[in-house]
């Protein structure tokens, strides 16, 4: 082994109500750990996975595919070993595959003394996302790599913008342990949008971005509204309506589907409100008899972090 580092690869919440496929934010205390090493024998190997039943074959694991995309651009013979300690469950809607793709490319770039910009890393990590979902989306890998809130302004050419992150924002996320098939969550979405709804939606995206930059929590709350995707997708998530109602009644700024679900997020001002919201959501879910996890996390403005040995 030549060099090795241990990292925290964070979970992320994509879409953020109005920002379907373009907005996302990074969590601080929910995420995987990874050990990444440079080794003398060239090639990329996944040497260990704990906490989840995921493929060890490099070309079937998003971390392997993302690092191979980076090494193709680096164009020198490099050997990489990857160990993944999964805490984020795959298919949860909080960026499980994104944490692995983004974490792996960030760590390899760090070990190679940073030949690539964070923006380059987003495009390599998107290759991992393409493997996971068939679509090279950036709304989870961008916040994992850049931290805070991010906007994918354009996919072609890729243009990712880091937004301002007001320090009092805290996320509550519930992950009901049910399977929502990606094919189902895709099939309920309509391909065409009525102009009236599109106007509401881009008004909200602009309002949310303005609210983040000016730290206007009321404006953030007013803008966390999705009139296009949520009404269709929320039917796949048990008790979505009850969770949203109670979260808003307990003071959340907004509440919506995290990624393509089944996780639900509620964004609050301050940890105290986020904890009250978390308890209220728990009281709804306990009655369903379903297994679930709840996380309360500040926004992580840094993204992926080194863990000191
Ligand atoms: P999430 O809904 O939490 O964002 P995804 O649906 O994006 O999770 O990713 C899960 C899919 O990616 C699963 O099919 C899983 O088998 C595949 N996958 C491949 N490698 C990994 C990895 N290292 N971590 C997580 N998922 C992976």
Q: What is the pLDDT along the chain (309 residues), one digit of tens a residue?
A: 789 999 999 999 999 999 999 999 999 999 999 999 999 999 999 999 999 999 999 999 999 999 999 999 998 999 999 999 999 998 899 999 999 999 999 999 999 999 999 999 999 999 999 999 888 999 999 999 999 999 999 999 999 999 999 999 999 999 999 988 777 888 899 999 999 999 999 999 999 999 999 999 999 999 999 999 999 999 999 999 999 999 999 999 999 999 999 999 999 999 999 999 999 999 999 999 999 999 999 999 999 999 986
176 CB less than 6 Å from ligand 1? Answer: no
CATH superfamily, region 169-298:
GHMP kinase, C-terminal domain (3.30.70.890)
Spatial contact of 215 and 209, defined as CB atoms under 8 Å apart: no
Q: What is d(CA 236, CA 308) in angstroms, rounded to the nearest whole number?
A: 41
CB pairs under 8 A, 24+ apart, for 61-64? 61/100, 62/97, 62/100, 62/101, 62/128, 62/129, 62/131, 62/132, 63/34, 63/100, 63/101, 63/103, 63/104, 63/128, 64/104
Please tell me the pTM assigned to this model.
Answer: 0.96
Atom of ligand 1 nearest to the CA of 132: 12
Bridge partners of 264, per DSSP, are 174, 257
* Cβ within 8 Å of residue 199, ≥6 positions away: none
Query: 3-163 architecture in CATH?
Result: 2-Layer Sandwich (3.30)
Question: Whose C-alpha lies nearest to ligand 1, atom 9?
Answer: 97
Active-site annotation, residues? 129, 182
Å from CA of 237 to ligand 1 middle:
19
259 CB less than 6 Å from ligand 1? Answer: yes
50 CB less than 6 Å from ligand 1? Answer: no
Å from CA of 100 to ligand 1 middle:
8
| Domain spans in the chain, listed from the N-terminal domain onward | 3-163, 169-298
């Amino acid at each position: 082994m030549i060099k090795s580092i241990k990292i925290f690869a964070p979970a992320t919440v994509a879409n953020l109500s109005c920002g379907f496929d373009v907005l996302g934010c990074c969590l601080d205390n929910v995420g995987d750990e990874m050990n990444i090493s440079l080794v003398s024998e060239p090639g990329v190997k996944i040497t260990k996975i704990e906490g989840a039943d995921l493929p060890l074959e490099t070309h079937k694991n998003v971390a392997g595919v993302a690092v191979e995309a980076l090494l193709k651009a680096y164009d020198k013979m490099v050997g990489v070993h990857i160990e993944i300690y999964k805490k984020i469950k795959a298919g949860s809607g909080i960026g499980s595959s994104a944490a692995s793709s983004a974490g792996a490319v960030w760590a390899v770039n760090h070990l190679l003394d940073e030949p690539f910009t964070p923006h380059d890393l987003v495009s390599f990590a998107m290759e991992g996302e393409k493997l996971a979902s068939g679509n090279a989306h950036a709304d989870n890998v961008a916040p994992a790599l850049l931290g805070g809130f991010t906007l994918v302004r354009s996919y072609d050419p890729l243009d990712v913008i880091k937004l301002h992150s007001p320090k009092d924002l805290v996320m509550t996320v519930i992950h009901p342990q049910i399977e929502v098939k990606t094919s189902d969550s895709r099939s309920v979405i309509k391909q065409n949008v009525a102009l009236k709804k599109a106007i509401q939606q881009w008004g909200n995206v602009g309002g949310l971005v303005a609210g983040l930059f000016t730290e206007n929590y009321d404006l953030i709350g007013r803008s966390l509204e999705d009139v296009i995707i949520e009404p269709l997708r929320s039917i796949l998530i048990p008790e979505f309506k009850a969770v949203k109602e109670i979260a808003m009644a307990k003071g959340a700024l907004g509440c919506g589907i995290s990624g393509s679900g089944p996780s639900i997020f509620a964004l609050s001002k301050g940890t105290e409100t986020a904890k009250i919201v978390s308890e209220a959501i728990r009281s709804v879910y306990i009655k369903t008899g379903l297994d679930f996890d709840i996380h309360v996390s500040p926004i992580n403005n840094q993204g992926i972090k080194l863990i000191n040995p």
